[in-house]
Chains A and B, each alone.
Chain A
Amino acid sequence: MTSPAIRARSQAGFEIRTLLSNGEQLLVSLLLPALALVGLAVTSTPHLGPGRRIDIVVPSVLALAVVSTAFTGQAIATGFDRRYGVLRLLGITPLGRGGLLAGKAIAVVVIVALQTLVLGILGACFGWHPDGPGLFVGLLLMLVGTWTWVALALFISGILRAEAVLAVANLLWILFAGAGGLLLPTHRFPEAAGAVVRLLPSGALGDGLRDAMTGHFDSLVEPVLVLLVWGAVLTVATAKTFRWDDR
């Protein structure tokens, strides 16, 4: 009999191929972050603070890419999978609900890894030099961020209709990218606004990655704690509210 791990891996492969063959998903996950990287790398506005600009731009764009895949992509995909009964059907195959969730988790991590590789190479073309240990810490932080944002995606897609998920996920992506601290460091915000944005998972992920990949480890505690608290709260909320079907 095929093992649960093999079935979860098979589901992950299916999800990855589905995501990579979806034009809208590629646009949000890769093309728009790449355009943001190039745009921010070749201009001098907005001012991103002290340090080499490209070393701030790349982690910022990586944060945006995590949100694109782990949140926007997963929320929309899960919302429509539920609408079409895909979650119901796969949940009663040998894969089961646990295997389905594991497959989705593996798929998201693989896509985030691919994004990181592509955007990292693109960043290197513009002279990105991440801090050595900071790069490793940043990758760990991306894993934590992926968990937090997937939890938010499943929370939203579990309580809203598919069409509403589509609208909300895209709207939040724009808001988080523009004003949520993903691309712009929170210390560049007005003081009160910055204090609020730092407590959002977007601000925490953006600031955390920028600090980690530039070697500023002493300021990492707050963003890591914020991500962990959001991740735990959203995971519990999702476990209580998630619906596997629309009936």
Chain B
Amino acid sequence: MSAPVPPVIVDGVTHHYGSKLALHDMSWQAPQGAITCILGPNGAGKTSIMEMAEGLRRPESGTVRVLGNDPWHADADHRRRVGVMLQDGGLPGSVKPLRLLHHLASLYDETGELSSLVDELGIEEFRHTSLRRLSGGQRQRVALAAALVGQPDVVFLDEPSAGLDPHARLDVWDLVRRTRDRGCCVVVTTHSFEEAERLADRVIIVAAGTVATAGSVTEVSGTASLEDTYFSLTRIPGKTMR
């Protein structure tokens, strides 16, 4: 019996911004029912490759396939199966959280349990405050709920716990694990070694627009810590990393 096709396949993607090489022959896969964490320094290409997988950016060369489709040309049926949490949120400032989430839920077929999402993420406590008046962490929680409201088969989370306090971070990690446990393919970008170690079934360390290493946390770091492995793989010669 052949192995199932991974829902997310990035194959040989190269991309420039002007004359700057942003992605260089990048290839990786994210399996079903697993959390794949992409770790890398600023400018390593994490957000660029996420945007290509989300259908927001078209790769110059190489291919990106999500659920067997080219995300750039994806139709509504494909987008219904994919959830996205953008790095900058994508939330309208003048709207209150529940109205936005109810509206987003109306755009999907399977709206899941919106009320349980709201409970789990503690959104109820600031439901009467417009999004522009929320703290960064509160907006992160709404953005995460927006990504999960359609019960997607694949979800892309760009730095989902950035700006959250430690308790909220644990709640978010629990929710991400439960999303994985129901069979969803979860792809997370992060700067946090703790987040990668505690969440990831698979880690991909990217540097200078390409994959430096990939595998489980144990496979990637061996006897060293993930942090030491990361720094040894992403250190730019002549530049102090920490």
Contacts and interface: CB of A to CB of B under 8 A. Distances in A.
B107 A95 contact: yes
A21 B107 contact: no
Interface string A1-31: 1101001001100100110011000000000
A89 B79 contact: no
A contact patch SS: helix
B80 A94 contact: yes
Interface in B19-77: 54-56, 76-77
A22 B54 CA distance: 31
A89 B90 contact: yes
Interface string B135-147: 0000000000010
A92 B108 contact: no
B206 interface: no
B169 to A, nearest CB: 22
A133 interface: no
Contacts of A245: 56
Contacts of B54: 92
B92 A10 contact: no
B71 to A, nearest CB: 8
A10 B84 contact: no
Contacts of A4: 76
B91 A93 contact: no
A85 interface: yes
A90 B88 CA distance: 13
Contact of A84 (B77, B82, B93, B104): B93
A77 to B, nearest CB: 9
Interface residues of A, number: 27
B99 interface: yes
A118 interface: no
A1 B109 CA distance: 6
Interface in A45-102: 80-81, 84-86, 88-96, 99
B79 A85 contact: no
B86 interface: yes
A94 B108 contact: yes
Contacts of B95: 18
Contacts of A99: 76
A7 B150 CA distance: 14
Contact of B79 (A21, A80, A86, A92): A92
A93 B107 contact: yes
B88 A1 contact: no
Contact of B84 (A2, A86, A92): A92
A94 B103 contact: no
A86 B109 contact: no
A94 B86 contact: no
B106 to A, nearest CB: 5
Please name the 6 residue pairs, one residue from A and one from B, whose CB atoms are nearest each other, closest first: A89-B90, A85-B90, A94-B76, A85-B88, A14-B103, A94-B80
Interface of A: 1-2, 4, 7, 10-11, 14, 17-18, 21-22, 80-81, 84-86, 88-96, 99, 245
13 contacts: A4-B76, A14-B99, A84-B93, A85-B88, A86-B90, A86-B91, A86-B92, A88-B56, A88-B86, A89-B146, A90-B90, A93-B150, A94-B108
